[in-house]
């Protein structure tokens, strides 16, 4: 069973769902008091305790999202899980939530609960699920593998950023003019990994290698040692057999850094 809380941007005002808010009011304690007085072990799992955890998590999630410095507004829905029913915890007068080192509050995660005032110190983990929502693009119709995407292929909407490991493509420039890396279905969210740069040339093609420096440009012909896609790296072999790695500029040109 889960309870939920939510947060939104751009003001990062954190809110608690109606059920949690009601529980907090019934408890008769303000937010400041709830944050300064962690619950005892006997209260773990109660409605007031879950309200406290929801408020604390809202603040932690908002802080992590702000640190990400993402240029778009995001909101988060937080599901708080339950402790393993087989746990038998020693009495404790003060239980504090904390984030294990390196914890990212994104998708499925966990927080720690530790006893700071009791005869036997203990530390347990509570499962949570943080769903982050933000702007994205959804396909209007199916797309064939290799098909070039245009602005008419997708429409903007709010999507769940945490649904998959790949990042959501936010701006049209991130996908318009690119190819579908595989067959895509209508309603699918555009993410990295689903699109790729257009094919420029194939392995064995003769290309022009361009080396630019301050005040000069050198060019030479070379053989492509792999398929070239605009904006991606490719290895080329010069007439003297030397192999260089450069970036594909267009169907005829590879730029090699000094």
What pLDDT sits at residue 35?
Answer: 41
The Cβ of residue 153 has, within 10 Å, a number of other Cβ atoms equal to: 20
Domain count, the chain: 3
Q: What is the CATH number of the domain that holds 166?
A: 3.90.1210.10
Q: Are residues 24 and 89 in the same domain?
A: yes
Q: Are residues 115 and 139 in the same domain?
A: no
Q: Are residues 141 and 169 in the same domain?
A: yes
Query: pLDDT tens digits, residue range 95-123?
Result: 899 999 999 999 999 999 999 998 999 99
Altogether, the residues listed in the chain come to a count of: 258
Closest CA to 3 of 21, 22, 19: 19
Query: How many Å apart are CA 54 and CA 48, to the nearest integer?
Result: 10
The pTM for the full model equals 0.67
Domain membership of residue 72 as a residue range: 3-133
Q: Which of 82-86, 125-129, 146-150, 194-198 is predicted with the least confidence, judged by mean pLDDT?
A: 82-86
Given 167, 196, 225, which residue is the final one in a domain? 196
Beta bridge partners of 139: 154
What pLDDT sits at residue 40?
Answer: 65
Average pLDDT (78-107) is: 89
Given 87, 116, 133, which residue is the final one in a domain? 133
Q: Are residues 129 and 21 in the same domain?
A: yes
Q: Are residues 164 and 228 in the same domain?
A: no
Instruction: Pick from 4-18, 39-53, 117-131 the range whose average pLDDT is largest.
Output: 117-131
Q: Are residues 157 and 69 in the same domain?
A: no
- DSSP H or E run through 127: strand 123-139
For the record, the structure tokens of 143 come out as 């797309």
pLDDT beyond 60 at 11: no
Query: Taking all residues of the chain, what is their mean pLDDT, rounded to a whole number?
Result: 83
What pLDDT sits at residue 144?
Answer: 97
Q: Are residues 30 and 113 in the same domain?
A: yes
Query: How many Å apart are CA 154 and CA 131, to the nearest integer?
Result: 23
Q: Are residues 14 and 110 in the same domain?
A: yes
3-state DSSP call for residue 195?
strand
State CA 42 to chain mean position distance: 36
What pLDDT sits at residue 85?
Answer: 80
What pLDDT sits at residue 83?
Answer: 85
Q: Are residues 51 and 103 in the same domain?
A: yes
3-state DSSP call for residue 101?
coil
Q: Are residues 187 and 220 in the same domain?
A: no
Q: What is the CATH number of the domain that holds 237?
A: 2.30.30.760
What pLDDT sits at residue 240?
Answer: 94
Given 85, 115, 133, which residue is the final one in a domain? 133
What pLDDT sits at residue 38?
Answer: 60
């Amino acid at each position: 069973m889960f309870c939920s809380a939510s947060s939104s941007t751009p003001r990062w005002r954190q809110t608690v769902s109606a059920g949690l808010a009601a529980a907090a009011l019934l408890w008769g304690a303000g937010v400041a008091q709830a944050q300064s007085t962690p619950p005892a072990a006997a209260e773990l799992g109660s409605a007031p305790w879950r309200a406290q955890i929801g408020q604390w998590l809202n603040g932690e999630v908002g802080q992590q999202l702000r640190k990400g410095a993402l240029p778009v507004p995001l909101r988060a829905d937080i599901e708080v899980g339950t402790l393993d029913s087989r746990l038998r915890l020693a009495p404790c007068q003060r239980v504090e939530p904390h984030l294990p080192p390196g914890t990212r509050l994104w998708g499925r995660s966990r927080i720690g609960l530790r006893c700071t005032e009791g005869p036997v110190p203990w530390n347990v983990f509570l499962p949570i699920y943080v769903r982050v929502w933000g702007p994205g693009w959804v396909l209007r119709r199916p797309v064939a593998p290799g098909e070039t995407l245009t602005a008419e292929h997708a429409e903007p909407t709010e999507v769940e950023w945490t649904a998959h490991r790949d990042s959501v493509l936010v701006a049209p420039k991130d996908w318009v003019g690119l190819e579908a890396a595989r067959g895509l279905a209508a309603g699918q969210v555009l993410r990295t990994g689903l699109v790729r740069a257009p094919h420029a040339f194939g392995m064995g093609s003769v290309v022009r290698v361009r080396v630019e420096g301050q005040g000069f440009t050198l060019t030479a012909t070379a053989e492509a040692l792999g398929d070239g896609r605009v904006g991606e790296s490719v290895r080329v072999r010069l007439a003297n057999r030397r192999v260089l790695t450069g970036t594909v500029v267009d169907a005829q040109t590879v730029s090699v850094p000094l």
